[in-house]
Amino acid sequence: MFELDCSAVFPGCERVIRADSEAGVIRRAIAQANALGIDRISPMMMDTMRQRIVELPAAAERAA
């Protein structure tokens, strides 16, 4: 399981995005950005997303 604190990338976002893959997190983050009115994801935003995605330990997955 992978996780991204959306507020680290998009101002005003209060979500924590989780998915089974990094690509899934990025897809969900882009959808969230669009919902916040961000129409264009800059290369810098993409880099920040990739840097801020963390892999959760297996024990955390079972507890969630």
φ/ψ of 30, rounded to 5, equals -65, -40
Across the chain, what does the average pLDDT equal? 90
- Cα 2 to Cα 39, 40, 49, distances in angstroms: 24, 23, 12
Q: Using CA atoms, how far apart are residues 19 and 55, in angstroms rounded to an integer?
A: 10
Neighbours of 14 (CB within 10 A): 8
Q: Tell me: the pLDDT tens digits for 1-32?
A: 999 999 989 888 899 999 999 999 999 999 99
Structural domains of the chain, count: 1
Give the integer Cα–Cα distance in Å for 2 and 39: 24
Domain that includes residue 29, residue range = 2-63
Question: What is the pTM assigned to this prediction?
Answer: 0.83
pLDDT > 60? residue 52: yes
